Amino acid sequence: MLPPSRDSEDLSNSLDLLDLPGNITWKGKIAFLDRDGVINKGYDNYVNNIDEINILPHAGESIGRLRRAGFRICVVTNQSPIGRGLWTHENLWLIHEHISKLLLIEDKDSILDLILYSPYAPWEGSWARKPNPGMLEAGRQIIDHANRDDSSKLKIFYDNDWTNRPDESESIMIGDRNVDYLASQSYGVNFFKCDPNIGIYDVISSVLGDENE
C-alpha cells in the first residue's frame, strides 16, 4: 500500500491538536491543502531547501481564516524527490518547519494541524501519492483519533478496508493541479482550484462564502 509519511513522527503516533481560535468547538471540518502552488510558490525543480521557500501572498491570513471558521488544516503534498534519491526526509522536515514559522509570522492562527507527504516516485504506485486519496484518508483518521483524545494505538485503513467513513460534506480540498482534483473526488470532498501564482488566497472567499464575511 505504501502509506504516507509524517514529519519526524511515525504515522500512527498520537497527534497533539492545539485548540481552534477562540476555543471554538471542532465539528469535523478538515481543509486538506496541497502545498506548492497553494501555500508557497512551486518550482519545476522542486523546493529543495529553506532558501527556496516563498510563501504566497496572504497564505498565512487565509489559513488563519479557515481555522477561525472551524476547520482543521491537513497539508497533503507529493514529495517525490525523496523517492528519486535527491534528498532526505530530514531535509523535507526542515522545509516544513520553516514554512510553518513563516505562516505564523503572518497570522498567529495559521497553524498546520497535520502535514502528510508522499515520498514515493510516480512509478512506485503508492496509494498515498495523489491522484490517489491515501493521504486524505490517513489525515482524517489521525485527526479524528487525536480529537477523541484516544490513548489506544491508531490503526489506519485505506481504500475498501476503511468502512464506516465519516461525513465529509463540509470538508474541502484546495489545490492547483489536476492530481489534487482527482484525489479530492476519489476521497469525496469539495475541491477548489487556485491559481498557483496566487495560491489559497485566490479561493478563500469562495471557500468560506458568507461564513466569514
Give the SS3 label for residue 103: helix
Q: In 10 A of CB 90, how many CB atoms?
A: 11
Tracing cell 514529519 back to the chain, one arrives at 7
What letters, b where the CB count within 10 A reaches 16 and e where it falls short, cover 127-148? bbbbebbbbbbbbbbbbbbbee
Active-site positions read 34, 36
**Of how many residues is the chain composed?**
213
Name, in order, each residue with C-beta under 8 angstroms of 152's C-beta and a sequence gap of 6 or more: none
